[in-house]
Structure 1
Amino acid sequence: MYQSLQEFQADWAHESSLTLKVLSVLTDESLKQAVSETKGRTLGQLAWHVATSVTGMFGAGGVQVDAPGFAAPVPNRAQEIVDCYRKASEGAAAALREQWTDAKLSEKLLLFGSIDTTYAGLLNLIIRHVIHHRGQMTILMRQAGLVPPGVYGPNEEENAAMRANH
């Protein structure tokens, strides 16, 4: 669990840069990719959920972020999703610095009416939520014919290039 806002901010900056790295590979056409014709979110819906959940999840902790939220309609342009995530991510970091102190982290929070946690727990959940959906996106990106970037290590193509150079 986070003991200081500075600790979270460092983690958030790193994870946000990785998320932007993944989102930046999306194309307008790839946003239509789904697991199947009848199941699950499309890649665009999933990417938009990641982008807008920043506002929604920080908002659940009382942090006001000036960016689109859950109810905003899914755009059909990949760049809009990238821009929204960047704005939300940077806005959340700035708002957190202005609106919270380290003392807030240990305070109790009933999240979404059913999850007993602390404000530090909320920050932990936000990070894990983004990581979870980022992983889902990389699978859909492959199905859409895209090459997702390596995130916590090289992707298949980066691995092959490293093996070829040794």
Structure 2
Amino acid sequence: MYTTIPSFITDYENESRSTLKLLDTLTDASLSQEVAPGFRTLGPLAWHLVHKDHGLLTGAGLSFKAPAAESETPASAVSIAEAYRAVTQSILSAVCGHWSDEALEETVQMFGQTWTKGQTLSIFVKHEIHHRGQLTILMRQAGLPVAGMYGPSKEEWSAIGMDTPV
């Protein structure tokens, strides 16, 4: 849970850079990669990180510019990455401009529970990390290289001449 705006800003800037490493690797052809029939494909999964999903932040009273949850997934991987960059900046600006450290202790009703705004921001970041993990699986299935998030990926280990740890 975040108790200060700067702690959220630092963390979200770092996490969004990691997300962008993945989004910038996507290709238009990879957007149709599915894990199994009937499940979300790579394109809509990536787009899920861009649009105002499920009201996590808007439900906590934060207003920022982002595509509507019902918006159609772009067919262009570059468009998804560019939209993510814009939404990330919009979220950072909104948090800095409209919330204070004290506001992070205010409570909101989320999914039938009482959360603080600081808790909501923490869950928002964890939600993105969760979906980033899903992205990496679909990216591997699509034959794309995967960037390391909290340490080197298999490709990055190889690039520095090291055996991949098992």
- TM-score, reference length from structure 2: 0.92
Deviations 1:83-113 (A, max 9, x none): 111111000000111111111111111114x
**Shift of the alpha carbon at 1:150?**
1.1
Aligned to 2:76: 77
Q: Partners of 1:54 and 1:110 in 2: how far apart?
A: 16
In the alignment, residue 117 of structure 1 is paired with which amino acid? W
Distance in 2 separating the partners of 1:92 and 1:137? 22
Question: What residue number does 1:139 align with?
Answer: 137
- The answer as to whether partners of 1:54 and 1:126 remain within 8 angstroms in 2 is no
Give 1:100's aligned residue: 99
Structure 2: tracts of 5 or more residues without a match: none
On the 8 A contact 1:18/1:151 being kept in 2, the answer is yes
Contact between 1:55 and 1:67, CA under 8 Å: does it hold in 2? no
Cα shift at 1:53: 4.0
What is the one-letter code of the residue matched to 1:91? Answer: S
**Where in structure 1 are there 5+ consecutive unaligned residues?**
none
- Conserved? CA contact 1:55–1:64, under 8 Å: no
| Shift in Å, 1:46 | 0.3
Matches within 5 A, 1:51-70: 51-53=50-52, 56-70=55-69
**Are the counterparts in 2 of residues 56 and 69 from structure 1 also a CA contact under 8 Å?**
no
Matches within 5 A, 1:3-14: 3-14=3-14
2:148 is equivalent to residue 155 of structure 1: no
The answer to whether the 8 A contact 2:34-2:42 is kept is yes
Change (3 A) 1:16 1:54: farther
Greater share of residues in helix = 1
How many residue pairs get aligned? The number is 163
